[in-house]
Amino acid sequence: MTPQETVVAMVIQGLIVVGVVFSAFAGLTVAERKLLGRFQARRGPNRAGPFGLLQPLADIGKLTFKEDFIPAGANRWLFRLAPMIPVIAAVAALSLIPFGGVHEWFGTTVTLYGTDLSVGVLVFLALSSLGAYGLILGGWASGNKYSLLGAARNAAQLVSYEVAMGLSIVGVVMISQSLSLVDIANDQAGGIWYILVQPIAFVVFMIAAIAETNRIPFDLGEAESELIAGYNLEYGSVKFAMFMTAEYLSLIIISAFGATLFLGGPDGPWLPGFIWLGLKISVLLFIFIWVRATLPRFRYDRLMKFGWKVLIPISTLNILVTAIVLGLGFAN
Amino acid sequence: MTMGTAGPRSGNFPIAAESREAREAAARDGRALTPTERIIAGVEARTPEEAIERTLTNEMLADARPGVRQPMLINLGPNHPSTHGVLRLIVELDGEVVREVTPVIGYLHTGIEKQCENKTWWQGITLVTRMDYLAPFANIKAYTMSVERLLQMEVPARAQWIRVLLAEMNRLASHLVWLGTSGLELGAMSVFFYCYRERDEMLDLFEMVSGERMNHRYFQVGGCSDDLPPGFIERVRAFTEEMPARIDDYEALLTGNPIWKDRMVGIGVLPAEQLLALGVTGPTLRAAGVPYDLRKVAPYSGYQHFEFDVPTATEGDCYARYLVRVREMRESLRIIRQVLDGMPEGPVIADDRKVVLPPREELAYSMEALIHHFKLVSEGFTVPAGEAYVAIESPRGEMGCYAVSDGGPRPYRIHMRDPSFVNLQATAPLCKGGYLADLIAIVATLDPVMGGVDR
Amino acid sequence: MSDVAAQIEAASPGAVVLEWEDLGELTVEVRGDRIVEACRALRDGPSQYLLLSDITCADFPDEPGRFRMAYHLVNIATGARARLRAWAGASDPAVESVTSIWPGANWMEREVYDQFGVHFHGHPDLCRILNPLDWEGHPLRRDYPIGGEEVQFTDAV
Amino acid sequence: MGVLDPFKGFGVTFRTLLTKPVTIGYPEHRTPVYPRFRGRHRLWRFENGLEKCVGCSLCAAACPADCIRVVAEENTPGNRVSAGERYARIYEINMARCIFCGYCEVACPFDAITLEHSYELSEYTREALIYTKDVLLEPAPKQPPLHPNVPGDPSLVGDV
Question: How would you class B254 by CB atoms within 10 Å of its CB: exposed for 0-12, middle for 13-18, buried for 19 or more?
Answer: buried
Average pLDDT over residues A196-225: 82
Nearest CB neighbour to D21, from listed A43, A293, A295:
A43
Are D71 and C154 inside 8 Å of each other by CB? Answer: no
Residue D141 confidence (pLDDT): 67
Residue B21 with chain C: CB contacts under 8 Å: 132-134
Q: Do A42 and D17 touch (CB under 8 A)?
A: no
**In this predicted structure, which of B38-47, B74-83, B298-307, D124-133 has the lowest mean pLDDT?**
B38-47
Of B24, B412, B454, which has the smallest distance from its Cβ to C134's Cβ? B24
Chains that touch A (3 or more CB pairs under 8 A): B, D
Note whether B253 contacts D8, CB cutoff 8 Å: yes
Checking if the pLDDT of B46 tops 60, the result is: no
pLDDT at position D12, please?
83
Residue D86 pairs in a beta bridge with D74
Q: Establish if A230 touches chain B: CB-CB under 8 angstroms.
A: no
Q: What is the pLDDT of residue D29?
A: 86
Range in B76-85, B125-134, B169-178, C32-41 the model is least confident about: B76-85
Average of per-residue pLDDT across D112-124: 88
Is A76 in the D-facing interface, judged by CB distances under 8 Å?
Answer: no
Mean of per-residue pLDDT scores for chain A: 81
Task: Please name the chains neighbouring D, where neighbouring means 3+ C-beta pairs under 8 angstroms.
Answer: A, B, C
Please determine, for residue D156, whether its predicted confidence score (pLDDT) is greater than 50: no
- In terms of Cβ atoms closer than 10 Å to its own Cβ (0-12, 13-18, 19+), residue A117 is middle
Report, as an integer, the average pLDDT of B351-362. 84
Residue B42, pLDDT score? 62
- State whether A37 and D14 contact (CB < 8 Å): no
Angle at B77 between CA B74 and CA B83, to 5 degrees: 115
Which phi and psi (to 5°) does residue A63 adopt? Answer: -65, -35
Chains that touch B (3 or more CB pairs under 8 A): A, C, D
More confident residue, C45 or B172: B172
Q: Chain A contact for D25, CB < 8 A?
A: yes
Are residues B30 and B37 in contact, defined by beta-carbon separation less than 8 angstroms?
no
CB-nearest to B123 from D31, D34, D64 is D64
Stretch B38-60: mean pLDDT = 55
A210 min Cα distance to partner chain B (Å)? 14
Look at B66 and A66; give whichever has higher pLDDT: A66
Nearest CB to C151 within list D90, D97, D132:
D97
User: Which residues in chain D have their CB less than 8 angstroms from residue B358's CB?
Assistant: none
**Residues D23, A39: C-beta atoms closer than 8 Å:** no
B166 Cα to chain C: minimum distance (Å)? 24
D46-68 per-position pLDDT tens digit: 887 788 888 888 889 899 988 99
Confidence of residue B172 (pLDDT cuts 50, 70, 90): very high
For residue A332, being part of any structural domain is answered with no
D30/C contact by beta carbon, under 8 A: no
pLDDT digits (tens, 9 = 90+) for B216-258: 889 988 888 888 898 899 999 999 999 999 998 888 888 888 8
Q: pLDDT tens for residues B112-162? A: 888 888 889 999 999 898 888 888 999 999 999 999 999 988 889 899 999
- ipTM of the shown complex: 0.84
Residues in chain C with CB shorter than 8 Å from the CB of D69 are 151, 153
- CA distance, residue C76 to nearest chain B CA (Å): 6
* Average pLDDT of chain C, as a whole number: 86
> Chain B residue closest to A77 (CA)?
B1
Q: How confident is the model at residue B331 (pLDDT cuts 50, 70, 90)?
A: very high
User: Which residues on C lie below 8 Å from D90 (Cβ)?
Assistant: 156-157
Interchain CB contact of D156 with C (< 8 Å):
no
Whether residue A242 is predicted with pLDDT greater than 50 in this model: the reply is yes
Q: What DSSP string runs through A41-102?
A: TS----SSSGGGTTHHHHHHHHHHTS-----TTS-HHHHHHTTHHHHHHHHHHHTT---S-E
More confident residue, B359 or A225: B359
Chain D positions touching A32 (Cβ under 8 A) are none
Residue A291 falls within a domain, yes or no? Answer: yes
- Residues in A closer than 8 angstroms to B82, CB to CB, are 225-226
pLDDT tier at B324 (50, 70, 90 boundaries)? very high
Nearest Cα residue in chain C from D67? C151
Per-residue confidence at B332, pLDDT binned at 50, 70, 90? very high
Q: How confident is the model at residue A88 (pLDDT cuts 50, 70, 90)?
A: confident
Question: CB distance B279–C23 less than 8 Å?
Answer: no
Cβ pair A226:B436 closer than 8 A: yes
Q: How far is A327 from chain D (nearest CA, A)?
A: 35
How many angstroms separate the CA of residue B86 from the nearest CA in chain A?
A: 14
Residue A101 is predicted with a pLDDT of 62
Residues A109-137 have a mean pLDDT of 78
Can you give the pLDDT at residue B48?
Answer: 53
pLDDT reported for residue A217: 82
Alpha carbons A318 and A325: distance in angstroms, whole number: 11
Q: Which domain holds residue A94?
A: 3-327
Distance between CA atoms of B8 and B45, rounded to whole angstroms? 11
| A 145-174 residues inside an 8 A Cβ radius of D | none
Identity of the residue in D8, D37, D64 whose CB atom sits nearest the CB atom of B252:
D8
How big is the C-D interface in CB pairs under 8 Å? 23
Q: Per the CB < 8 Å rule, is B109 touching C131?
A: yes
Q: What is the mean pLDDT of chain B?
A: 83
Q: Which residues of B touch A301 (CB under 8 A)?
A: 96, 435
In chain A, the percentage of residues whose pLDDT exceeds 90 is 0
Instruction: Give yes or no for residue B66 having a pLDDT over 90.
Output: no
Domains of chain C in start order, with CATH, are 3-121 (3.30.460.80)
DSSP state of C23: T
Q: Which of A227-236, B135-144, B270-279, B400-409 has the lowest mean pLDDT?
A: A227-236
Residues of chain C with pLDDT under 70: 1, 156-157
How many angstroms separate the CA of residue D2 from the nearest CA in chain A? 18
Asked whether residue A32 is assigned to any structural domain, the reply reads yes
- Minimum-distance CB partner of B126 among D9, D33, D101: D101
Q: Is A40 within 8 Å of B190 when comparing Cβ atoms?
A: yes
Given a contact cutoff of 8 angstroms between Cβ atoms, the answer to whether B86 and B452 are in contact is: no
HEC secondary structure over chain B: CCCCCCCCCCCCCHHHHHHHHHHHHHHHHCCCCCHHHHHHHHCCCCCHHHHHHHHHHCHHHHCCCCCCCCCEEEEECCCCCCCCCCCEEEEEEECCEEEEEEEECCCCCCCHHHHHHCCCHHHHHHHHCCCCCCCHHHHHHHHHHHHHHHHCCCCCHHHHHHHHHHHHHHHHHHHHHHHHHHHHHCCCHHHHHHHHHHHHHHHHHHHHHHCCCCCCCCEECCEECCCCCCCHHHHHHHHHHHHHHHHHHHHHHHCCCHHHHHHHCCCCCCCHHHHHHCCCCCHHHHCCCCCCCHHHHCCCCCHHHCCCCCCCCCCCCHHHHHHHHHHHHHHHHHHHHHHHHHCCCCCCECCCCCCCCCCHHHHHCCHHHHHHHHHHHHCCCCCCCEEEEEEEEECCEEEEEEEEECCCCCCCEEEEECHHHHHHHHHHHHHCCCEHHHHHHHHHHHCCCHHHHHC
Of A72, A219, A296, the CB nearest to B259: A296
Query: Tell me, what's the pLDDT at D160?
Result: 35
In angstroms, the separation between the Cα of residue A41 and the nearest Cα of chain B is: 7
Tell me whether A90 touches chain D (CB under 8 Å).
no
Tens-digit pLDDT profile for residues C77-118: 888 888 988 988 888 888 888 998 899 899 999 999 989 988
C residues 40-79 lying closer than 8 A (beta carbon) to B: 50-54, 56, 58-59, 70, 72, 74, 76-79
In a domain, A238, yes or no: yes
How close C150 comes to chain D (CA, Å)? 10
| Domain presence at residue A201 | yes
Higher pLDDT, B378 or A195: B378
Cβ <8 Å between A41 and D12: no
Distances (CA, A) of A194 to A168, A182, A190, A323: 12, 14, 12, 15
Judged against a pLDDT cut of 80, whether residue D130 lies above it is answered with yes
CB contact under 8 A, A296 and B438: no
A302 has a chain B CB within 8 A of its CB: yes
Nearest CA to CA, how far is A40 from chain D (Å)? 7
Quote the number of domains for chain A: 1
pLDDT value of residue B328: 92
Q: What confidence category does residue A114 fall into, taking pLDDT thresholds of 50, 70 and 90?
A: low
**Per-residue pLDDT at D147 exceeds 70:** no
Per CB distance under 8 Å, which residues of B are interface residues toward D? 119, 122-123, 126-127, 190, 194, 197, 204, 207-212, 215, 217, 225-226, 229, 249, 252-258, 357, 363, 370, 373-374, 377-378
